[in-house]
Copies of this chain bind each other. A is one copy, B any other.
Amino acid sequence: MYKTSISQVPIESVQMEGVSKTNIQWLLNKPRTPNFAMRRYQMEKGGTIPLHSHSWEHEMYVLSGTGLALEDGKEPLPVKVGDVLYIEPYELHGWEQTGDEVFTFLCVIPHPKE
């Protein structure tokens, strides 16, 4: 059994183009885990992740705060603590922090196929 904590995992700034005020922690990852990685995102006030897509899916759980889930050609979808989201492979998606609280969520992804 391996145990760590959000207080022990390094916090990194997300470097993707157009992203602002967003940090990531890789809580569990290769080579320790065989199938999927667990990450924790923290979006500060004004934080944005613009619409983008990729070949892997997301399974997400909102831990704190509020935000908007952005979809291609649709109204942004308000999300809050206890909400659960599934983003399909290749589906366009993005995020915006809203309100005064840090918007925090877990995002689980499969390891890249080698």
Q: Which residues of A contact B (CB under 8 A)?
A: 1-7, 9, 27-28, 32-36, 38, 57, 59, 61, 63, 69, 71, 77, 79, 82-89, 91, 93, 106, 108, 110
Contacts and interface: CB of A to CB of B under 8 A. Distances in A.
A63 B82 CA distance: 10
A106 B82 CA distance: 11
Q: How many copies does the complex hold?
A: 2
Interface of A is mostly: strand
A28 B109 CA distance: 13
A109 to B, nearest CB: 9
Given A35-B35, A36-B108, A91 B1 contact: yes
B35 A87 contact: no
